[in-house]
Amino acid sequence: MTKFDESRLTEEQRGYIIGLFLGDGSFNRGKKEPRFFVRFALDAKRDEDIAFRLSEIMNNAGKKTNLFLWQSNIIAKVCSKELVTFIQNYITYDQKGKTFENCEG
């Protein structure tokens, strides 16, 4: 399994991940195993192109994206502690919501 490599992404791709997470993302830790998940819940009818764009960006960074349908959504799931850390460099995330913290990275 490869690690998420932020250095392989352009500034635009990094911003895309952060912006998409702010709008449609969430963290989830595995209950049985210590795994880190980032999930993006997208509208299945409108956002197929966004799901494929995200998958392409993650592939550039060395990570596979699992895409699956759930109710009326496309769920894009990426398993990566490094991706969680990358996002946490910019966003404070807790049960109350998400806050953009750092615009200089």
pLDDT tens track for 63-77: 999 999 999 999 999
Domain 6-92 fold: Endonuclease I-creI (3.10.28)
Domain ranges of the chain: 6-92
The beta-strand segments (E) located in the chain are 25-29, 36-43, 66-70, 73-79, 91-94, 97-100
pLDDT tens track for 10-56: 999 999 999 999 999 998 766 676 678 899 999 999 999 999 999 99
Q: What is the DSSP letter of 100?
A: E
Tell me the pairing of strands 91-94 and 66-70: unpaired
pTM here is: 0.85
